[in-house]
Amino acid sequence: MKEFISFEDLENSIQTSAGQKFVCRERANAEYILQPTGYTALPGDVTFANGRVGALQIDGWMNIECFGATQGVDSTAEIQAAIDRAEFIYAIGYDYRYTQLTVPSSLKFIGAGKKKTRLRTTNLTDDKITVTAGGASSVMFADMEFGSIGTQTGGAYIRFDSATTQLQSPVVSGCNFISPYTDNLLSKRQLSLKLSGNYFVTYINAG
């Protein structure tokens, strides 16, 4: 397996042997396998200098930094890529930033602790994370803090968008929700929401 320290060095390399494996230390030791010519890159994959693609290996719980999420800068696209491609994702850093995210109802997203992992949004007026119905398992958010950069004036941190289809008992555990100016959790219909060990500055609203 070839090792690269930075993702930039990985991208700038020229690779030709299909099946060759690579690891990128900068991206939480993400692993890639060079695909045959003609393979179309997916979010999180690496495209080498000669146009060939290394497919990110999705296996079990995936660190969002494997998809390029970086602390202290907007990582909306990278976090969304992790959500779209992996059913189980986690974050261990302190300060990840985003605008809006759409989450399938089967996703499991955990942090390293509500005082250790923080998701902050720059979206101050609309819903921040929307959970869509359709999965067979329960969405879960655990062990992280939800906050904002600036003063919230509207929207919810997490909206369970289940107007027509019942979600499978969403779980929110060990999370902080920090904003006195917005709802924390919103649902379009009553649902069996499992809450444990959370801290809310404001309240839950079913509406």
CB 32 within 8 A of CB 3: no
Give the dihedral of Cα atoms 88, 168, 123, 72; nearest 10 deg.
-20
Q: Which residues, given as ranges, of the chain have pLDDT below 50? A: 164, 202-207
DSSP 8-state symbol, 74? B
Q: Output the pLDDT for position 197.
A: 65
Residue 132's beta-bridge partner residues? 104, 161
Q: Output the pLDDT for position 163.
A: 56
CA distance 184 to 202: 7
Q: Output the pLDDT for position 167.
A: 63
Q: Output the pLDDT for position 205.
A: 43
Q: Output the pLDDT for position 160.
A: 82
CA distance 33 to 142: 31
In the numeric block, which tokens belong to residue 3? 């090792």
CB 82 within 8 A of CB 56: no
In the numeric block, which tokens belong to residue 76? 């909306």
How far, CA to CA in Å, does 167 sit from each of 127, 137, 159, 173? 18, 8, 12, 17
Which residues, other chains included, contact 37 with Cβ-Cβ below 8 Å and sequence gap of 6+?
A: 18, 52
Q: Output the pLDDT for position 203.
A: 43
